[in-house]
């Protein structure tokens, strides 16, 4: 069982508990439908900036975790969207973080979690998310289509994550409008941004294409932009920076 399968199994237990508690009360007005993907269609490389305390590959990234301040710094720095980890066991995330960040910023929010049940998509909408992550490796093609359709009905965008050619084809068959390629090998945890560049060629130019993991410098962003990458999802590089807004500005330097 690889790490992704372990997280999915843990998530299944969490969903049972969350279903028993019921959907959280919605405390915000309805958002503009599909705002996440609208923002990613702006000229140049768009930035999805991640609020993340820990990860299985790196352990605790941010001992101090002022998540509201971090989200506000991303917004000041010009983030096109903000990704919020809500998975508790491996990433030390929390659904509450998403709801509180929703109240603190206007930027579109991606619920970064391991969606294995329609309940989690409805929960994301109630918490104030504008988008959800759907991971091809833990969903059947039928589930992927079903969950994408439910998100569409709720006005949520889907970032459909793939790791290889077969999963990109599965994402396209499900009607994905945004495909994210994870550059991290889930077996070795090594990162290779050329994975995004290689798989971009399989996807029509009108489909948003996001490179996930491995972006550390403005030169990395410029290289991805040269290969028609629509957006980058940046986590660790920003989370380790003493000034997230300044680091984001630095990364954007050669991207536009």
Q: Give residue limits of the domains in the chain.
A: 3-21+31-252
Q: Which two tokens stand for residue 112?
A: 């970064």
* DSSP-assigned states of every residue in 119-184: HHHHHHHHHT-SEEEEEGGGS-HHHHHHHHHHHHHHT-EEEEEESSHHHHHHHHHTT-SEEEEE-B
CB atoms within 10 A of CB 207: 16
Active-site positions?
A: 50, 52, 112, 161, 182, 212-213
User: What is the pLDDT, as a whole number, of residue 256?
Assistant: 44
User: What is the pLDDT, as a whole number, of residue 187?
Assistant: 66
Q: Which CATH architecture has domain 3-21+31-252?
A: Alpha-Beta Barrel (3.20)
Q: Report the alpha-carbon distance of residue 48 to residue 201 in Å, rounded.
A: 22
User: What is the pLDDT, as a whole number, of residue 251?
Assistant: 93
The answer to whether the pTM exceeds 0.75 is: yes
User: What is the pLDDT, as a whole number, of residue 63?
Assistant: 85
* Alpha helical stretches, state H, the chain: 3-21, 35-40, 67-77, 88-91, 95-104, 118-127, 141-154, 165-173, 194-200, 218-226, 236-239, 244-252
**What's the average pLDDT block by block, 10 residues per block, for the chain (256 residues)?**
88 95 86 96 94 90 92 95 97 96 97 98 97 97 98 97 95 98 77 89 95 91 94 94 92 65
Contacts of 153 (CB under 8 A, 6+ apart): none
User: What is the pLDDT, as a whole number, of residue 80?
Assistant: 97
User: What is the pLDDT, as a whole number, of residue 192?
Assistant: 81
Cα-trace Rg, the chain:
17
Q: Which two tokens stand for residue 224?
A: 């991805």
């Amino acid at each position: 069982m690889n790490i992704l399968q372990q997280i999915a199994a843990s998530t299944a237990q969490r969903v049972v508990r969350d279903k028993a508690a019921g959907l959280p009360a919605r405390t915000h007005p309805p958002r503009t439908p599909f705002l996440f993907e609208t923002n990613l269609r702006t000229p140049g490389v768009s930035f999805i900036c991640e609020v993340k305390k820990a990860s299985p590959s790196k352990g605790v990234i941010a001992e101090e975790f002022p998540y509201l301040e971090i989200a506000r710094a991303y917004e000041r720095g010009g983030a096109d969207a903000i990704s919020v980890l809500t998975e508790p066991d491996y990433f030390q995330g929390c659904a509450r973080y998403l709801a509180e960040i929703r109240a603190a910023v206007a930027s579109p929010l991606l619920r970064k979690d391991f969606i294995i049940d329609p309940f989690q998509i409805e929960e994301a909408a109630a918490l104030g998310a504008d988008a959800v992550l759907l991971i091809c490796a833990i969903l059947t093609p039928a589930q992927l289509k079903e969950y994408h359709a439910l998100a569409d009905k709720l006005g949520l965008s889907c970032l459909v994550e793939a790791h290889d050619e077969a999963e990109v084809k599965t994402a396209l068959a499900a009607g994905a409008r945004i495909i994210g390629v994870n550059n991290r090998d889930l077996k070795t945890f090594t990162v290779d941004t050329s994975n995004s560049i290689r798989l971009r060629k399989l996807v029509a130019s009108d489909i948003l294409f996001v490179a996930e993991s491995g972006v550390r410098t403005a030169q990395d962003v410029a290289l991805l932009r040269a290969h028609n990458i629509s957006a980058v999802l940046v986590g660790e590089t920003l989370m380790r920076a003493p000034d997230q807004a300044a680091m984001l500005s630095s990364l954007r330097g050669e991207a536009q």
